[in-house]
Amino acid sequence: MTLKALTALAAATLIVAGAGSAIAEQHATASDAAEAQTFLAAPGTIADAVATAEKETGGKTMSAAFEPDDTTQAAAWEVELALPDNTIETVMVDPATGAVTAKAAEAEDQDGLAGDDGEEDGEDEGN
């Protein structure tokens, strides 16, 4: 390719990438606004959720976050706790009622903390 063709190709690539970034930014802004609106409309505070989770489990909070559910338009406080038996549990606290509604579904161990078998998490050795 000639220098002129390479320059034109590079410019076209930058234009396409820039347009994609602008669209992603608009989507992120709308998503952030919807999440903020859900958060601001929710009764209760993170302190309330932490207190409830600690009382229900006997644990000590390691982290807590407001987690809106995009599919149901509901939200919950997700509270991760260290329990007295040296285990970690994650519970969901309903912001409307202040009640622990469920234990959060633990995702497969993607970080390998449950043991390193040399395989990618979720894979069997036989594969």
Q: Who's near 117: CB < 8 A, 6+ residues apart?
A: 125
* Residue 32's pLDDT band (cuts 50, 70, 90): confident
Phi, psi for residue 104 in degrees, rounded to 5: -65, 140
Nearest to 101 by CA among 83, 79, 82, 85: 79
Nearest to 108 by CA among 120, 119, 121, 118: 121
What average pLDDT does this structure show over 99-123?
Answer: 57
DSSP classification of residue 117: -
Instruction: Report the chain's mean pLDDT, rounded to a whole number.
Output: 75
* Residue 79's pLDDT band (cuts 50, 70, 90): very high
